[in-house]
Structure 1
């Protein structure tokens, strides 16, 4: 068993009961965290009861100051531990070995981050279930620049839903970008891989996490993803993302066909079209009128800051 000191940082906004289950899961780890830090965005929902019940630290972030990269960077710098586990409030550990499994890859001193496998929740639809299997297979892998030809953009794939960071490497490489709409985890992974570090996918570290996004929500999510790639081209230079999306659609369609889920193939076509349209619009966002950008983003606060609007 690997015992290393680590802290946990969790951005929160109007959390529900999953946050309680997450913290309870962390408290039950065989290798328990040194500190649990919540970065709570101002809302009408209080987390003070959580602070008293679980002995966690809470720092308040103003709603207009929240940023996917900047807020997490703030949390990383609150820690002095050699490793920091970043999680989202809706990810729940499946067992008591999550942290030790995430720490295992760091025996290779070139590993900068280790991220967990995400498993679907009980009511996840069949398309999202297959997507989880596609993005989070049951086999671990350590990725580096040598994998670019085989994996393409998936070389940089990493998720802050549940990811353990070597804090020394993080600080040395100036951490997350401070102003991004989305994708701070992949931008960081791309940056460190390009300078010789590695990213570990640890399949034995598992959390329950999935979303049943509608077509409209998929459009907005992929729009934001494309905006992040446009804003930070150095992280994705020379690598196309579209081919990975096409591969996912083809494999999902084959899976649905083999399982006689013919109606779901129609849903897949619709949602895939929404994803592609969102991504395409995101790559062209600088040419779009402001009103349209506001309609097709998930992150209104980001655009208020970026566009200077009230």
Structure 2
């Protein structure tokens, strides 16, 4: 791992105080980072003092209407000449100093591994139910997923999260990288292609970031609508690999967990949230049948629909 060059790539929008904390933690990693490439939306909201404080930063500005989940990251990848590109979001914080080291280790243990994603831990304000959801989606045991695991993991075989994920640049370039137009889910679309082409995706449980949200029911609806749209637009990846089963499994396990912990008053909220998730997802999968006004109401990314 000694001669491996690593760039970290972070899309940013209205970065606040936590962004400075993120950069500071990255500069203190045990594995050295070559550059931190920031793709900032709207220069007006950028704090130029950050560039004076952290010389490792390379900042590129774009307009809000130019941002795209896939294209913006693809552009950043073109700016990188590193062996490994680590993509992060501005609201994820390294839990310790070995995040990058553990990601690189997971990525380089096998030449067939093209991507490795980190474990997401709940932040201090995380709700009780969301803490359990984090542990369900990000367990404490690492795993490497290949095409052979599709019968076992189903849609989870393609799971990868750009909240914090590392990619081998040579494989990334060979497969064409992230899709250039993506409403959401650019990470899973690419991971799906990796799996289909015979590569592997690693989950590195010892590479940890602090990241969680307490979404409302309507936020879950909008988020899952865009998720459904992304799957509908990429049948070459998701057709024949339904994700509904994973959702049902999570609901059942969460309810059982709440019963065990004697917090049954939280169960109605879980059922309501799950209903909103599924309604959003189903609407997104069938977005072509919806009028434009309905689509714009359902989505959380209105810019995506502007022609």
TM score, norm. by length of structure 2 = 0.97
| 2:134 maps to 1:132 | yes
Shift of 1:2: 5.8
Taking a change above 3 Å as real, the CA distance of residues 75 and 185 of structure 1, as seen in their structure-2 partners, is same
- Number of residues of Structure 1 aligned to a counterpart in Structure 2: 305
Alpha-carbon distance in 2 for matches of 1:192, 1:72: 17
| 2:257 maps to 1:264 | no
Map Cα deviations across residues 84-116 of structure 1 (whole Å, 9 max, x no partner). Answer: 110000000011110110011212010101110
Q: What secondary structure does 1:59 align onto?
A: strand
Query: Is residue 123–residue 210 contact of structure 2 (8 Å, CA) maintained in 1?
Result: yes
Q: What secondary structure does 2:7 align onto?
A: strand
Alpha-carbon distance in 2 for matches of 1:195, 1:46: 39
| 2:209 maps to 1:235 | no
| 2:4 maps to 1:4 | yes
Map Cα deviations across residues 255-305 of structure 1 (whole Å, 9 max, x no partner). Answer: 11111112211110110010010011011101111111111111011011x
Map Cα deviations across residues 34-81 of structure 1 (whole Å, 9 max, x no partner). Answer: 001100001642231211111111001111110000000111110001
Between 262-271 and 212-221, the greater mean CA deviation after superposition = 262-271
CA-based RMSD of the aligned residues comes to 1.0
Alignment of 1:77-156 (within 5 A): 77-105=78-106, 106-156=108-158
Alpha-carbon distance in 2 for matches of 1:45, 1:67: 18
Q: Which runs of 4+ in 1 moved over 6 A?
A: none
Alpha-carbon distance in 2 for matches of 1:273, 1:13: 30
Q: What secondary structure does 2:179 align onto?
A: coil
- 1:69 maps to 70
- 1:37 maps to 37
Query: Is residue 43–residue 61 contact of structure 2 (8 Å, CA) maintained in 1?
Result: no
Shift of 1:146: 0.5
Shift of 1:215: 0.2
Q: What secondary structure does 2:201 align onto?
A: strand
| 2:176 maps to 1:174 | yes
- 1:26 maps to 26
Alpha-carbon distance in 1 for matches of 2:217, 2:243: 19
Query: Is residue 3–residue 100 contact of structure 1 (8 Å, CA) maintained in 2?
Result: no
Map Cα deviations across residues 155-176 of structure 1 (whole Å, 9 max, x no partner). Answer: 0000000001100000000000
Alpha-carbon distance in 1 for matches of 2:151, 2:18: 39
Alpha-carbon distance in 2 for matches of 1:90, 1:295: 25
Alpha-carbon distance in 2 for matches of 1:76, 1:17: 26
Q: What secondary structure does 1:181 align onto?
A: coil
Alpha-carbon distance in 2 for matches of 1:139, 1:117: 9
Alpha-carbon distance in 2 for matches of 1:171, 1:69: 14
Alpha-carbon distance in 1 for matches of 2:284, 2:204: 31
Alpha-carbon distance in 2 for matches of 1:221, 1:115: 21
Alpha-carbon distance in 2 for matches of 1:94, 1:108: 25
Shift of 1:15: 1.1
TM score, norm. by length of structure 1 = 0.96
Counterpart of 1:206 (choices 205, 208, 214) is 208
